[in-house]
Amino acid sequence: MISEDILQIAAELLKHDDPEVREQAALLQGSFALSWIGRQNFDYAFENLKELLEDEDLRVREASAWALYRLSVNEDGCQRMVEGGIPEFMILSFIGHSEPKDMQFSDAQYLIHLLEAFVNITFSDAGIETLLGRDAIR
């Protein structure tokens, strides 16, 4: 069984100075995201994961996007993301990293994780609303 304390500790490690620690903490959060109990306690991580979408270290950004993708696999995860305002941050980050003149090949996996999460979010009635009118869907 997943302890709530473990999730809180992992959420705090998302703010660590060392990028490898932030990356591993995000991957741990993503691993918990498929579990019902993990999703119920994911709120601890939202603020930190939002910030990590713009982390200077690509590995950290990828891990954060992957964790959010994993959370989006389940309807209740999508709902929690919408309630936490996550899709709006994802959209801004995606747009910022996918501008044709500034796009980096190295950002490909990061952008793919965000796109996969967007697809899952659109399957949710509450989720599609957050993507409309934000230059994410035209």
pLDDT-based confidence at 4, cuts 50/70/90? low
CATH T-level topology, domain 4-131: Leucine-rich Repeat Variant (1.25.10)
Q: What integer pLDDT is reported at residue 65 of this predicted model?
A: 97
Q: For 42-74, write each residue's pLDDT tens digit.
A: 777 888 999 999 999 999 999 999 999 999 998
Question: pTM to 2 decimals?
Answer: 0.88
Question: How large is the average pLDDT for residues 98-124?
Answer: 89
For 8-14, the CB contacts below 8 A with 24+ separation are: 8/41, 8/44, 10/45, 11/44, 11/45, 11/48, 12/48, 14/45, 14/48, 14/49, 14/51, 14/52, 14/64
Average pLDDT along the chain:
87
